Amino acid sequence: MPPTAPTHRSPEEIFRHGLRLLLDQDIAGWVELWAEDGVFEFPFAPEGRPRRLEGKPAVAAYMRAYPDHIELHDFPELTVHRTQDPRTIVVEMSAVGRLVAAEGPFAMSYVAVVTVVDGRITHYRDYWNPLGVPASMRG
């Protein structure tokens, strides 16, 4: 799929659009929001899980199986904070859904620091609690 032209949407608009794509399980569309050299970081990732992904191909590979594990239903809490840098936002949110293999509920709270340049995500730091993920998904 050829990359689409960058947009002049705000970081908040890009982020909210990305949430909609995740709810629709459109992982390819979500990855298209990324810059080719974008960086995805997970500062609290548990042992054995990546803490840093560099480049759109690495983000795509990481997210490819996401719908096989988690089916998102909603983001019932979402607060976006603007920063002094108009390219960067801080997001507090919660997600709910279903753990696919376990057929059980999924609920997680997040804080994300997201930078968007020329309509593309260039840096996404995802602060989530690995203790909230079932042991079967941690390895």
Q: What is the pLDDT of residues 27-83, one digit of tens each?
A: 999 999 999 999 999 999 988 889 999 999 999 999 999 999 999 999 999 999 999
State the CATH number of the domain containing residue 117: 3.10.450.50
Would you say residue 6 lies in a domain? Answer: no
pLDDT, position 30: 98
| Number of domains observed in the structure of the chain | 1
User: What are the angstrom distances between the C-alpha of 2 and each of 28, 32, 53, 124, 135?
Assistant: 11, 9, 21, 22, 37
What is the gyration radius of the CA atoms in the chain, in angstroms? 14
Would you say residue 139 lies in a domain? Answer: no
Would you say residue 137 lies in a domain? Answer: no
Task: Find, among 74, 73, 52, the residue nearest to 62 by Cα.
Answer: 52
Task: Find, among 122, 132, 120, 104, the residue nearest to 17 by Cα.
Answer: 120
Would you say residue 74 lies in a domain? Answer: yes
- Classify residue 139 as exposed, middle or buried by CB count within 10 Å of its CB (0-12, 13-18, 19+): exposed
pLDDT, position 115: 98
Q: What pTM did the predictor assign? A: 0.88
Q: Range of 18's domain?
A: 11-130
Would you say residue 5 lies in a domain? Answer: no
Q: What is the pLDDT of residues 78-121, one digit of tens each?
A: 999 999 999 999 999 999 999 998 889 999 999 999 999 999 99
